[in-house]
Amino acid sequence: MSEAIPNNITDNMTSNRTVAILNTEAPFSSATGKESLDTALIFGSYEQAISLFFIGDGVFQVIGDQNATEIEIKDYLKTFSALGFYDIENIYVCRESLTERNLPENFHISNIQVLSNKDFSQRLHQHNVIFRF
């Protein structure tokens, strides 16, 4: 729990640095998407500012109208709707990746910002640390 961590420890780690999580894989084909989301929630729990980025097949993570229960696995996509409780509000999707895959801007979470490749890249590199999943 966040209360258990003394301030001096978090200060020495990443508290003043911005963290980006870059998602590049589709959900459910592997555990990657779930692991990425868990990582984001851990940072959120410790009040670390964090942004989520979705590019390539990663954009499938946020596309709406998916039903994981049909393949009988835990639908972790539902957890995305709880991101607000972890103060995770910066969520970016690459427009070109949507276009290449013929995907509409139909997402299962609100407050997503769709950015052109250039803006996406620029925004990503404003962060001090990038974790790629």
Partner 1 sequence: MTILYKNQSIATDKQGYLLDFTEWNEDIAVLLANGDNVELSEPHWEVIRFVREFYLTYNTSPAIRALTKAMKAEFGEEKASSRYLYRLFKEGPAKQATKYAGLPKPARCI
Cβ-contact 98, 63 below 8 angstroms: no
**Is 75 or 96 the residue whose CB approaches partner 1 more closely?**
75
Of 30, 64, 78, 122, which one interacts with partner 1 (CB under 8 A)?
78
H-type helices in 18-129, by residue range?
32-45, 95-100, 117-124
Q: How far is the CB of 3 from partner 1 (least distance, A)?
A: 6
Alpha-carbon dihedral 68, 70, 73, 78, rounded to 10 degrees? 30
By CB under 8 A, residue 76 contacts partner 1: yes
**Listed ranges 36-44, 59-67, 102-110, 116-124: which one lies at the site for partner 1 (CB under 8 A):** 36-44
Cβ-contact 131, 18 below 8 angstroms: no
Q: How far is the CB of 75 from partner 1 (least distance, A)?
A: 6
Alpha-carbon dihedral 47, 40, 54, 63, rounded to 10 degrees? -110
Q: What residues make contact with partner 1 under the rule CB under 8 A?
A: 1-4, 38, 41-42, 44-45, 47, 74-76, 78-79, 81-82, 85-87
